Amino acid sequence: MSTKPILFRMIWLLTILSTLVACKSNVQTQSPAPEPTTGVVATPTPVVASYHGVALPTPKPVVGFAALPPVWLIVGSQAIPSSLAAGGNQQGHFDPSPAIPNIATATLPADTSAIIVVASESFTEFKPTVRAWSEDGSIVPLFDNAARELKVEVQKEENLTVFTLEPTGDAGDQLLNIHITFPTENAWGVYVWRLNPMPESLAPTPYYDQTATAIVQAVVSTVQPKVYSSMLSPDMNWRVEIVIYDCVQVTEDGPNAYEQLKLIRVGDGTENVIATQLQSCGGVGAYGLGELYWSSNSRYFYYTDAREGSPDGLCWYWERPIYRLDVLTQETELLGSGPFSPDQTKIAMWQENDLVIWSLYGGELSRIPAVISDAKRGPIAWSPDSESLVYLQNESDCFPFGKSYVIRFDMSKTEQNLLLESDTPSFIYATWDASDRITLSDEQGNHWVYDLATLKLEQVP
């Protein structure tokens, strides 16, 4: 049998198989490229958790476009994430016209500046505009020649950029439109909010709810908060902030202000409101939350609720009340009123008829009753070494003050002695200037020196 026909057939079959493989490979390489995906791309998690104590929530994911830095509108104690209406870069563009479902809304008074916080520090353009909201709820066109451009002030705060916009000037429905261009890939986005008109309940009417709770709610929802002061604990684990909502007319009785004292855990930004104060602006008296002192072990924080002013009708001695916050239990205690020692380790104060000495790092050190039980309690003065003090008592707490008493208390011996008893002059103020010298002031404004070594009293020429 000849092998040539078989050989020719094998060569013919191999040729056909090779051709088929080549054809299959050619078909695969010439298949059309897949269409670009338009799936959901999550907005990045904000790089910070809060702005001046206002939590910055993570915005919802954006459909059809690479994520842009999140942007918030700050209104009172709320941060409202924007709706991203349009955007683009070198790779593409999206525009969910003619309307955005569930557009972000805010109640912003027409005479209040808008605060815009952006989680980025790099911009090539920032343009804010405001215009009337469309009756049909659409936001097209996003760019309108009839829109009013707002003036802007800008400042950088850590890894944020904060823009303060002039008031919108209209109490009706509006669209706040922020156009931002970022240098990365020349990316841009249009961030929008619907600004609702102020609720009727916030306008001062004869039927307005005059309760403190309602007034606080009205002030907080109307005024942008500002940090009045901030104090870091020695171990840098805690921070206390005093936040102020400035005076605004929310009732027919007059303007009000509101303050908060917040304790913030530095590590995770967790915060708690420790104390609050609702104020009647234009009134008299002592008011305002104010920081005083951290204990060196960072456990206790001392503050007052009378930062400004003094009680109405005050005749004589008064010290700001002192509160102590235990950061471990988050409980506060009113200690009393009095001065800190020169070495900043103790506080002396009156509690009813008792003179009480407190340690800044712990509890009560001493408690003694005033020497003259039926006399008024007066100013306290620490010795330069913080180991003794003197205090005054008088028959009256208004002019004429009557008989005065100067008493010394020695902490090491836990005993007190009456140094002076005087009808004329009547002493109403004392300072312990040196280890052996006390300066006294009388009700006529004259000054006297009492020598602790010689026990002599002499008037200063």
Q: Would you state the pLDDT for residue 94? A: 62
**Is the pLDDT score of 4 beyond 60?**
no
Q: Where are the domains of the chain?
A: 43-196, 200-337, 338-461
Nearest to 93 by CA among 181, 189, 182: 189
Strands 290-294 and 300-304: antiparallel
CATH of 43-196, one of 3.30.200, 2.70.50, 1.10.3470, 1.10.1740: 2.70.50
Q: How far is CA 355 from CA 267, 315, 368, 379, 441, in A?
A: 39, 21, 5, 11, 21
Taking only the tens place, the pLDDT of each residue in 21-45 is 343 333 333 333 333 333 334 444 4
Report angle CA 298, 300, 305 to the nearest 5 degrees: 130
Which residues, at least 6 apart from 225, have a Cβ–Cβ distance to it below 8 Å?
52, 53, 54, 76, 77, 243, 244, 245, 260
Taking only the tens place, the pLDDT of each residue in 408-440 is 999 988 899 999 999 999 999 999 999 999 999
Query: DSSP 3-state assignment of 70?
Result: coil
Average pLDDT over residues 66-82: 80
What percentage of the chain carries pLDDT values higher than 90?
40
Which residues, at least 6 apart from 217, have a Cβ–Cβ distance to it below 8 Å?
none
Beta sheet of 346-351, edge-to-edge order: 290-294, 300-304, 321-326, 331-337, 346-351, 354-359, 364-369
User: Would you identify the CATH topology of the domain 338-461?
Assistant: Methylamine Dehydrogenase; Chain H (2.130.10)
- CA dist 225 and 52 (Å) reads 8
- φ and ψ at residue 339, rounded to 5 degrees: -90, 155
Which residues, at least 6 apart from 25, have a Cβ–Cβ distance to it below 8 Å?
none
**CA neighbours within 13 Å on the CB side: how many for 185?**
13
Q: Would you state the pLDDT for residue 159? A: 80
> Percentages helix, strand, coil for the chain, rounded to the nearest 5?
10, 45, 45
The terminus-to-terminus CA distance of the chain in angstroms comes to: 149
Taking only the tens place, the pLDDT of each residue in 221-274 is 999 999 999 999 999 999 999 999 999 998 777 799 999 999 999 999 999 999
pLDDT band at residue 282 under the 50/70/90 scheme: confident
Taking only the tens place, the pLDDT of each residue in 104-123 is 888 777 777 888 999 888 88
- Helix spans in 206-276 (H): 212-222
H/E element holding 98?
Answer: none
**Is the pLDDT score of 60 beyond 70?**
no
* CB 392 within 8 Å of CB 404: yes
Average pLDDT over residues 175-195: 85
Q: Return mean pLDDT, the chain.
A: 80
Q: H/E/C letters for each residue in 151-204?
A: CEEEEEECCEEEEEECCCCCCCCEEEEEEEECCHHHCEEEEEEEEECCCHHHCC
**Distance of alpha carbon 335 from the chain centroid:** 25
